Amino acid sequence: MIHTLLVANRGEIACRIFRTCRDLGITTVAVYSDVDADALHVREADLAVRLPGAAPSDTYLRGDLVVAAARAAGADAVHPGYGFLSENAAFAAAVQDAGLVWVGPPVKAIELMASKTRAKELMAGAGVPLLAPVDPATAGPEDLPLLLKAAAGGGGRGMRIVRELGALPGELLAAAAEAASAFGDGEVFAEPYVERGRHVEVQVMADAHDTVWALGTRDCSLQRRHQKVVEEAPAPGLDDGLRDRLHEAAVAAARAVGYRGAGTVEFLVSAEGRPYFLEMNTRLQVEHPVTEAVFGLDLVALQLRVAEGEPLSAPEPPQPSGHAVEARLYAEDPARDWQPQTGALHTLEVPEGPGLRLDTGYTGGDTIGVHYDPMIAKVIAHAPTRTEAVRLLARALERARIHGPVTNRDLLVRSLRHPDFAAARLDTGFYDRHLAELTAPGADRDAATAALAATLAEALRGPEAVRPTHPGGPAPARFGAWRNVPSQPQRKRYRSEPDGTEHEVAYRTPRTGVPEPHETPGTRVLNATPDRVTLEVEGVARHFTITTHGDRVHVDATDASYTFTALPRFTDPATHAAPGSLLAPMPGTVVRLAEGLAAGATVEAGQPLIWLEAMKMEHRILAPASGTLTALHAAPGHQVEVGALLAVVQEDPAATPVPVPVPEETA
C-alpha cells in the first residue's frame, strides 16, 4: 500500500494528482523551486521540499534531488506527472533503487519508447501501421514535404516542416541544435509530412496481470506550434472499422513492450482514413480528463492501483458515455506569433456546474513567471452529445473572469464556434488556415460599449465624483458643483488589449451625480456604480462588471470580456523607441546570436539575428530592414525583460524595400 506520495512535478498536474490522493487517504509531498515557493501545488500538499534554484535544469529536472526529497519527507512512492522527468528511464530506475514505488511503466518500456526511431522499429515488428522513414541524405522532390522530428522528445521541440529541398540542410541543423538543447540528444529523423492529417490517440491502461484496456480515442488535431490546444473524446467522425484498428494497434503496442500503468499511443490519420503510428507516451497525458469524463474513471487512481500490484477491475473497460471536450487556457497572445505572457494573475474564476471541470495550478493573486510552460488551466466539459459539450465549454470560457496577462481565451471560444470545428472538419492545419480570422480585432464583440461602461464606473470611482444618495436619485449638493452654462464633456481614452484599438469616450456628469454618455445615441444608463454598470443599448439591457488593477481595466459582460489600458491625456515622447530598435517581445533568455553578429555588421531584412528562449519555446528576432547593425545589447545567457532593447539596425536607404518582417517562433 502507498501511504505517502511525492509528485515530482509542479502546477496543474501536481494539484490534479493531489486531489486523487486526498480522496484515497494518501499523504502528499510537493517539491518546489525557489520561484514556486508559494505556488498552488505547494499550498495544497501536506508536505513540501525545496529544490534550490529557479531553472528547471537545477530543480525539477534533477532526479537526484527529487529522490533525496522523497526520502527526506518519508514518501514511499513517486508519481512523475507529465513533462520534466516523467519519461526518463534513469530517473524511474533511481526511484526504484531507492526502495520507492514508481507510479509509472517499467523502466524497460520507457527505454524502448524513449527514442522515436527505435520505437518505430519495434512497432513495425508488432504489426502497427507506420510511415516509412526517409533518409535526408537521399531525399528527392518526390519525398516532399518532409517532417523533421527529434528522436528523443516531443512537444514540438526540434520539429520542422520542409517543403523545399534547398532548405533541408539548414533545417536539419536547426532541428538538431534545438533537440540537443531541449533533450540532450541531437538525433533527428525525417518522415513524410501528411497534409491535413488528424492527430488521434488511444488511451491505454495495463496491469501486471496481462490485462490491457484501450480506453477509446481522443482527437487532438487543434494544435499550435505542434502542441495541443483543444482535445476531445471520442474522436469524432471515425467509422467503427478505423476505431477497431486503432484500438488493436494500441493494445499491440502496449503488449510489445510489456507495458503497465497509463500510457497513450498516438497516431496520424490521413485524409483518406489511413492511420500511422507516431509515438507512445509512457506517462499520463495532459488531455487525460476527457477520457476520464467519458468512461467515468479516475486514471490517477488506476495508476496508483496498478503501482500497488492490484489488477484492473475487469478484463474489459467500462462502456463510454457522452462526449467530452478540453481547452487549454494559455498565457499567450495568439495574434502576435503565440508569444507567451507573464505577470500577475489577479483573477481566475471559471463558472462551475454540471458537466464542467477545471484543472489548474493557479488561483487569483498568483504570478505567471518566465521559467515554465504558460498553461494556466484546462477547462473540460462533458455532455450527452458533442454539440452540447462544445456549447457548454464555449459558454463557460466566455463567462470566465480572467484578469492578468493576455490569454488565448477568445481564440478558444471562437475556435469552438468555428463552422469547421462544429462540423468536425479537423486536422493539424486548422490554425494555419484560420488564425487570422480567429484573432481579428473586434470580431463578435462590442469593445466600444465596454469602454463606455469602464468610463462611467471610473467617473463614479474618482475623488471628484458626486455620489447619488441612491441609484438614480439626486446627488447631495456641494459647493461649486453646479453651473448654469453647459460645460465641455469629459473625455477618457482606452486602448484595447491585446489588439491595440483605441477608444475615446465622452461623458457628462449632471446634477443627479450619475454620469451620462455623450455622443452615444441609442445608449442610456440604467444603473451605475463604481464596479457595475448596466446600459441599455438600442433597447437591450447589458450588464458590465468593472475591475481595475493600476492602469489596466477589466470589463466582464455576460457574453464577452474586455481588457483596456487607460491612456493618459498626453503621450510621453520618451516611450517611443528609436527606428530600427529590436525589442524583446517577451521576457526570456538569449540562447544564441547569428554567426559573426557584432556592431557594424551588415544585415538583410528578415535575417534571423537573435534567438530568444521563453517558456520552453525558441523565438527568432529578425532584422526589420536591410542596413547596418549599429548597436548590440544581447549576448548568449542574458536574461531580458519584455521591451528590453536587444539591438539597433540602421536602415540603408539604398536597399531594395521589402515587407517588414515580424519576430517568429521556430519550435
Q: What is the CATH number of the domain that holds 533?
A: 3.30.700
Cα–Cα dist 157/258, whole Å = 28
The verdict on 556 and 609 lying in the same domain is no
Does any domain span residue 162? yes
The H or E element that residue 396 is part of is: helix 386-399
CB burial of 385-398 (b: ≥16 within 10 Å; e: otherwise) equals ebebbbbbbbbbbb
Q: Is 665 helix (H, G, I), strand (E, B) or coil?
A: strand
Does any domain span residue 258? yes
Question: Can you list the pairs that 50-54 forms with residues at least 24 positions away whose Cβ atoms lie under 8 Å?
Answer: 54/371
The verdict on 35 and 148 lying in the same domain is no
The verdict on 188 and 258 lying in the same domain is no
The verdict on 558 and 606 lying in the same domain is no
Domain boundary among 161, 176, 192: 192
- The number of domains in the chain is 5
Does any domain span residue 331? yes
State which residues form the domain around 625. Answer: 576-665
Q: How many residues does the chain have?
A: 667
The verdict on 237 and 309 lying in the same domain is yes
Note the pLDDT of residue 82.
96
The verdict on 71 and 138 lying in the same domain is no
Place of cell 514505488: 101
Radius of gyration of the chain (CA): 27
List pLDDT tens digits, range 344-377: 999 999 999 999 999 999 999 999 998 999 999 9
- Which are the contacts of 659, defined by CB distance < 8 A and separation ≥ 6? none
List pLDDT tens digits, range 279-318: 999 999 999 999 999 999 999 999 999 999 999 999 999 9
| Positions in the chain whose pLDDT score sits under 70 | 153-155, 442-445, 462-487, 570-577, 615-616, 655-667
Note the pLDDT of residue 442.
63
Domain boundary among 192, 215, 239: 192
Cα–Cα dist 204/259, whole Å = 9
SS3 content of the chain, % helix, strand, coil (to 5): 25, 30, 40
The verdict on 271 and 409 lying in the same domain is yes
Does any domain span residue 516? yes
Note the pLDDT of residue 334.
95
Phi-psi region of 394 (alpha: psi -120 to 50; beta: other; left: phi over 0): alpha
Does any domain span residue 442? no
Q: What does the DSSP 8-state code read for residue 335?
A: G
Note the pLDDT of residue 620.
86
The verdict on 237 and 342 lying in the same domain is yes
Place of cell 501536481: 14
Does any domain span residue 111? no
Q: Which triple of cell numbers denotes residue 420?
A: 469547421
Q: What does the DSSP 8-state code read for residue 307?
A: H
Does any domain span residue 287? yes
Q: Is-above-0.85 flag for pTM? A: no
Q: What is the CATH number of the domain that holds 279?
A: 3.30.470.20
The verdict on 317 and 185 lying in the same domain is no
Q: What is the CATH number of the domain that holds 37?
A: 3.40.50.20
The verdict on 354 and 289 lying in the same domain is yes
Burial of 84 (0-12, 13-18, 19+ CB in 10 A): buried
The verdict on 220 and 368 lying in the same domain is yes
